[in-house]
Amino acid sequence: MSEKLSVVLAGAGTAGHINTLISIAEQIKILCPQARITAVGAQGGMEETLVPASGLPLRTIPKLAFPRSLSPSAALFPAKWAKEVRDAEKILRSVDADCVAGVGGYVSAPCYRAAKKLKIPIAIHEQNAMAGIANRLGARWADYIGTAYGGVKLRGRGRKPAERIGLPLKAEVIEAAKARREDPEGARAGAIEALGLKPDLPVLLVTGGSLGALSINKAVAGASRELLQVCQVVHVCGKGKSEIVSELVTQLAGKDALGELSASQDGQYFAQEGNYRIVDYFPHMSLLYKAASLAICRSGAGTVNEMEAMGMPAVYVPLPIGNGEQRFNAKPVVDNGGGILVQDSRFTEGFVKKYIPPLITDKKKLEAMGEKARELSGENAALVMAEEILQLANYHKYHE
């Protein structure tokens, strides 16, 4: 049996969950380089690409969603759930796990249950203002719970309350946030040059998250002619969602207005042709954050917390489905004056034409909003989670 600490990090689904997992792993490696870290994700999920790319070993189990209503498939859930837990147990035993840390997503739940059965300590991070099903289930067995937001109604073993620590951010985002805070003009100039953008025009960053957002894409592209009169646009459309954007921009602002972001051989990026640059997916969002004057985005927890760390003024358009967590995610920063919240149904081409041009050209207002956003940043969350996980793992290995 190895004397190295063995930590299992469980999470799956969105890039937000996966990036949180990777951020925690980065800090664990800094604090304890000899620790063995194993990620557990769902078969067929984004984690199958993103986690190995980060250098972490990945084990997968089938994705099993909790039934939300009575149906024929719900009757099959108990047997499938039992198998999921057995699969998770096999993984935990095979790596001799000393601590299981979950960041949410369906795959976390069977890992929590397996850890409880094997008497392995559990740490949880909840990134949303409203806790998801998996973390609500696991909380009752958890030895430590960290949250991105205050007021999250989760209590751990012994009714121990959750601790607000912020959201674990990737190292590159933390470094970019520091650069933008300490030398905003220098950080912007460097990013503008690296991206091949124009230094004399403000940059509007548009992103719907890792999967893109069709409603945001249509509304912004539909206002492209008006936007390009006052700024340049970098639009991260989402995989497979750029065609409708390019068609609208070409139709409304002209073929010469459309451009792309492409990578050169030396790893730099350059903008092609017009001032409305589109890309399906951009691997280094921190570079775009340093260049941007204003962002239009969904309000997933990862996005909101990155915007806060960067001091980025943002227009948040919450995803109109689910349990409403995206609206609650953005509420604290909006209430603090660091952003604007717009319902998806109200975020139309007309809204963009009316409100975005005067906002992105008001430099003083954007600076004030950015400072208000930064006030809520929790840049040390990954470090706090790593310390708690290692403490639990150490106790389990040497005292159990």
Q: Which helix (H) or strand (E) holds 37?
A: strand 36-42
What kind of architecture, by CATH, is found in domain 6-169+379-399? 3-Layer(aba) Sandwich (3.40)
Distance CA 220, CA 188 (A): 23
Residue ranges per structural domain of the chain: 6-169+379-399, 171-374
Interstrand relation of 269-271 and 314-316 (parallel, antiparallel or unpaired): unpaired
- Of 11, 316, 305, whose CA–CA distance to 165 is shortest? 305
* pLDDT reported for residue 316: 98
Burial annotation 315-342 (CB, 10 A radius, 16+ → b, else e): bbbbbeeeeebbbbbbbbbbebebbbbb
Q: Is 240 exposed, middle or buried (0-12, 13-18, 19+ CB in 10 A)?
A: exposed
Q: Which CATH number fits domain 171-374: 3.40.50.280, 3.40.1640.10, 3.40.50.150, 3.40.50.2000?
A: 3.40.50.2000
Q: Is 265 exposed, middle or buried (0-12, 13-18, 19+ CB in 10 A)?
A: exposed
* pLDDT reported for residue 270: 61
pLDDT single digits (tens) 338-395 = 999 999 999 999 999 999 999 999 999 999 999 999 999 877 899 999 999 999 999 8
127, two tokens:
């990134």
* pLDDT reported for residue 222: 98
Is residue 266 pLDDT above 60, yes or no? no
* Across 63-72, 81-90, 252-261, 318-327, least confident range: 63-72
For helices 15-31 and 381-399, what crossing angle results, to 10°? 60
Contact 393, 6 (CB under 8 A): yes
What's the whole-number mean pLDDT along residues 87-104?
97
Contact 372, 338 (CB under 8 A): yes
pTM of the model: 0.81
Amino acid at 242: S
pLDDT single digits (tens) 146-178 = 999 888 989 999 889 999 999 999 888 999 999
Is residue 1 pLDDT above 50, yes or no? no
Q: Do domains 6-169+379-399 and 171-374 have the same CATH topology?
A: yes
CA 271 to chain centre: 25
pLDDT single digits (tens) 113-128 = 999 999 999 999 999 8
* pLDDT reported for residue 78: 84
What's the whole-number mean pLDDT along residues 274-300?
93
pLDDT single digits (tens) 45-83 = 888 988 999 999 999 998 877 776 666 777 777 888 899
User: In terms of DSSP H, where are the helices of 323-399?
Assistant: 325-335, 349-360, 363-374, 381-399
